[in-house]
Amino acid sequence: MADWQAILDRHGPMVWRVASSMVGLDSDAADCFQETFLAAVELSRKQRVLSWSATLRAIAVNKANDCLRRRYRHGKRQEDRDTALLADGCDAAATEDAAARELAAALRRALATLEPRQARAFSLVAIESLSYAAAAEALGVSVNHVGVLVHRARHALKQQLAAYAPACADAERGDSRNG
């Protein structure tokens, strides 16, 4: 029988960080946090968990991606509170901060449109900084398959977020025109 208080104490902060960094809103992060531990309890009743850290991280990423899909696919185009426009006269740091929050919200929306396996693989590798091997273990697929999923996710995200990199896009177009 698992010592849930010890598991919560040890891994709860990581689960919260994963959920809140991915979904952005504390209320949604709290839901993901609870759903993660509920899924972990259910999983532990069916099989022995070898690595609570990897298992909880993978479940949290899944729950966060599910939350993003619900948020953006069901017509609830609610914007994150932290993307509200700043008042005129803000300093450059505040403007950069607002732009970063806007980009984060756009990334969340884009993640919600990805095929679920791609979103999970990308989230584990690019957001959670797991190695391909660790992501493969968490997802139950081969390392090569993680590479394919991440590559496809990056390609799709690059297309969806192209508007946020106009200087890069202009430079690439300029190079191809001049070459």
Task: Give the range of the structural domain holding residue 103, as residue numbers without chain letter.
Answer: 4-178
Please report where in the chains the tokens 């690439």 appear, as a residue.
Answer: 172
Q: Can you say whether residue 140 is alpha, beta or left, with left for phi > 0 and alpha for psi between -120 and 50 degrees?
A: left
pLDDT score at 19 = 93
**Beta carbons within 10 angstroms of residue 72's beta carbon:** 17
Flag whether pLDDT at 170 surpasses 80.
Answer: no
Q: Tally the domains of the chain.
A: 1
Judged on CB neighbours under 10 Å (0-12, 13-18, 19+), 123 is: buried
CB contact at 8 A, 125 and 152: no
List pLDDT tens digits, range 66-105.
998 888 776 544 444 434 433 344 555 666 777 777 888 8
CATH number at residue 93: 1.20.140.160
Mean pLDDT of all residues in 131-149: 93
CA gap 133, 121 in Å, rounded? 11
pLDDT score at 95 = 64
Q: Which is higher by pLDDT, 172 or 108?
A: 108
pLDDT score at 5 = 94
